Amino acid sequence: MLEPESGSRVLFFSGGTALGPIAAELSRFTRNAVHVITTFDSGGSSAELRRVFGMPAVGDIRARIMALADRNVPGNAETIALLGYRLPTDAAPEGLRRELVALAAGEHPLTAAIPEPMHEVITRHLSAFLALMPESMNLAGASIGNLVLTSGYLSLDRRLEPVVTAFSRMVAARGLVRPVADACAHLCVRLANGEIINGQHRFTGKVGTAISSPIVDMWLTASLEDPAPIRIAAYPRLADVIRLSDLICYPVGSFFSSVMANLLPSGVCAAIREARCPKVFIPNLGNDPELFGLTVRDQVAHLLRMGEAEGCGPQDMLHWLLVDEDDSRYPGGIPSEWLSRLGIRVRRAPLVVAPPYLDPAAVCAALAGAWV
């Protein structure tokens, strides 16, 4: 087997935390994996940062970098602990600000434990954030890692890629993380019953009421108040990264908000078409609230429709499904005959060791195999 430093360029379109364990496991096989991450989340800690600063969401980016962080590097355990820390959700505003001031001054136990030169880098970013933060900002539940990313983003003329690269280096991330876009946009969906829901946090089913009608369409909007569609471009140079991939994977995770959302910026699907590599879809095992009422066949059809918008045919977008040996684990089963007519093949492997979850080692071993 090749050393991880010489491993293949497996590219994932994803977001959220579902792929985190698989991403961490894959670093044993390759340090060259690419993680294209959505920037459209409108919930969680990112929501307040987006409201205050009018910026893309950085929470999913931070989570993926943390999953890829090399915990064997001296001092990294302390850095990871700080960047993964969240301010309390039940403290008074003045108490939250005092704690952030202590973190920025290096007096908090979490920052005091970090060795130089990382101590100075992080405290400088937090001090810069404090200087930019309005008094009215709600810090409850704020992720320190998100605040560091935001500080870097604002100090670098609102360019996201350079600060993501720097953040990755801070924790020696074992892979490449790239935002899909730099624009400030939100996700909007239309349900089969005609209802339109604007804002990712309103349809994921993670907070509030889950959807009760299937999603049939999704687009980007400029704000949470206006559902009118907008077009944005993919991040500069992302097309080249996609074209140079050794394998493209649409992995498990929230199907619409974490995976398909990455295909919305213009130029992404065209770059997928031009990539001369295997393209693999790993369906969820039926535990995704966004997939209410949708079968695996419906999911594949939606993926292919996303490509049609940029002139891509089925074979431009997808070659394989990687699934567990037990078809009954998937909503509607695996439509092998229909897939075959489209030229899409199915690879079955023992992916589930402890139901209902995919085993990261089994998935990575399958992805690292030959796809011919």
pLDDT in tens, 312-347: 999 999 999 999 999 999 999 999 999 999 999 999
Q: Which of 372, 255, 242 is nearest to 306 (CA)?
A: 255
Question: Is 241 within a domain?
Answer: yes
**Largest Cα–Cα distance of the chain, in whole Å?**
64
**Cα gap 348→16, rounded to integer Å:** 25
**1, pLDDT greater than 60:** no
Pair (75, 135) in one structural domain: yes
Of 133, 152, 175, which marks where a domain is finished?
A: 175
Pair (136, 260) in one structural domain: no
Question: Is 125 within a domain?
Answer: yes
Mean pLDDT, the chain, rounded, equals 95
**Cα gap 287→242, rounded to integer Å:** 29
Which pLDDT value is given to residue 7?
86
**Mutual angle of helices 144-155 and 160-170, in 10-degree steps:** 130
Pair (338, 234) in one structural domain: yes
Pair (237, 166) in one structural domain: no
Q: Which of 12, 26, 16, 11 is nearest to 290 (CA)?
A: 16
Question: Is 55 within a domain?
Answer: no
Collapsed DSSP state (helix, strand, coil) of residue 140: coil
Pair (232, 362) in one structural domain: yes
Residue type, 49: L
Give the pLDDT confidence of 200-256 residue by residue, as tens digits.
999 998 777 789 999 999 999 999 999 999 999 999 899 999 999 999 999 999 999
Collapsed DSSP state (helix, strand, coil) of residue 181: coil
Pair (151, 260) in one structural domain: no
Side-chain half-sphere exposure of 325, counting CA atoms within 13 A: 8
**Cα gap 264→38, rounded to integer Å:** 10
Pair (253, 346) in one structural domain: yes
369 in Cβ contact with 351 (< 8 Å) = no
Mean pLDDT of 125-153: 97
127 in Cβ contact with 147 (< 8 Å) = no
Of 140, 175, 210, which marks where a domain is finished?
A: 175
Question: Is 186 within a domain?
Answer: no
**Mutual angle of helices 144-155 and 59-68, in 10-degree steps:** 110
Pair (151, 235) in one structural domain: no
Question: Is 262 within a domain?
Answer: yes
Residue type, 270: A
Instruction: Give percent of the chain above pLDDT 70.
Output: 99
Report DSSP letters for 60-113, one per residue: HHHHHHHHH--TTSTTHHHHHHHHT-B--SSS-HHHHHHHHHHHHHT-SHHHHT
Pair (155, 254) in one structural domain: no
Which pLDDT value is given to residue 371?
84
- The CATH number given to whatever domain includes residue 360 is 3.40.50.10680
Pair (123, 247) in one structural domain: no
Question: Is 280 within a domain?
Answer: yes
Local confidence band at 372 (pLDDT 50, 70, 90 cut-offs): low
**264, pLDDT greater than 60:** yes
Question: Is 145 within a domain?
Answer: yes
220 in Cβ contact with 231 (< 8 Å) = yes
- Which pair of tokens denotes residue 35? 């993680």
Question: Is 333 within a domain?
Answer: yes
Which pLDDT value is given to residue 6?
80
Which pLDDT value is given to residue 2?
64
**Cα gap 166→272, rounded to integer Å:** 27
Q: Which of 215, 196, 188 is nearest to 289 (CA)?
A: 215
**354, pLDDT greater than 80:** yes
Mean pLDDT of 37-51: 94
β-bridge pairing 345-349 and 320-324: parallel
Pair (232, 291) in one structural domain: yes
Which pLDDT value is given to residue 237?
93
With a CB cutoff of 8 Å and minimum separation 6, the contacts of 150 are: 49, 53, 55, 58, 129
**66, pLDDT greater than 80:** yes
- Which pair of tokens denotes residue 206? 């993670």
| pTM, entire model | 0.95
**Count of domains forming the chain:** 2
Domain that holds residue 141: 69-175
Pair (256, 348) in one structural domain: yes
